[in-house]
Amino acid sequence: MPSPFDLAGLRAMVTGANTGLGQAIAVALGAAGAQVVGVGRSAMDETADLVRAAGASFTAVAADLATLEPIERVVAEARAGGRVDILVNNAGIIRRADAIDFTEQDWDDVMNVNLKSTFFLTQAVARGMLQDGKGGKVISIASLLSFQGGIRIPSYTASKSGLAGLTRLLACEWAGRGINVNAIAPGYFVTNNTEALRADPDRNAAILARIPAGKWGDPSDIGGAAVFLASRAADYVHGVVLPVDGGWLAR
């Protein structure tokens, strides 16, 4: 009997697969047997090598999700090799400034990538899942800021709070039609987005002091949660925002 976590024969599209958490998720899904389509605005050669070393195929689709313009093409290219069974909405950006000084441009840039493009890409992929009646899995990368306020990242907090709400809404609409919509809320991971925090001795020490696990997360730590939510093991899991945070929210 095959493992309920086996993704063999399935095709997974991962946005922001060129680095960090997206790369780690792409590798984990590939290691679990999925064919991987990576979407990124920069070269994904390293991700491709890692996914293929894990025994899976990898297809790169170049796109900048700052606007909706590439979405139709992205979905068409992803489907060229077969239906998309799993969508991981990982692409995201962050801007830091005091709320009193925050600009409209920084607000719009973050909301466009993190929330607007995520919704419309999900809509485009879900149309195919609903049309053929075979369903699928949608996993969005939320944040601890889906639960908390944070400081100096107003548009990021708003976008990730919105993403948690959107996850629940889509689960309510699509659960009965065979699509599981869930999210993962990463804690503090070693990625490009947290470089400024890790470089600040005071902020770095304060963050580490609150994490029960006592360390920043490594991107590889998130792969198991993604495989679970993408697999048959999660067939009755809908609308969940799953923290992978070293115990941060339990503190």
Distance separating alpha carbons of residues 211 and 215, to the nearest angstrom:
7
d(CA 196, CA 58): 31
Residues of the chain with pLDDT under 50: none
Q: Give me the sheet containing 241-244, strands edge to edge.
A: 58-62, 35-40, 11-15, 86-89, 136-141, 179-186, 241-244
Query: What local confidence, expressed as pLDDT, does residue 193 receive?
Result: 81
Instruction: Give pLDDT, residue 1.
Output: 74
**CA 162 remoteness from chain centre:** 14
Alpha-carbon Rg for the chain in angstroms: 17
What pLDDT does 192 receive?
86
Active site (catalytic) residues: 156
Query: Which tens digit of pLDDT belongs to each residue from 158-214?
Result: 999 999 999 999 999 999 999 999 999 999 999 988 998 899 999 999 999 999 999
What is the torsion angle, in degrees rounded to the nearest 10, for the CA atoms of residue 64, residue 61, residue 143 and residue 201? -70
The predicted pLDDT at position 250 comes to: 97
pLDDT attached to residue 2: 84
- pLDDT for the residue 246: 98
What domains appear along the chain, each with residue ranges and CATH number?
11-244 (3.40.50.720)
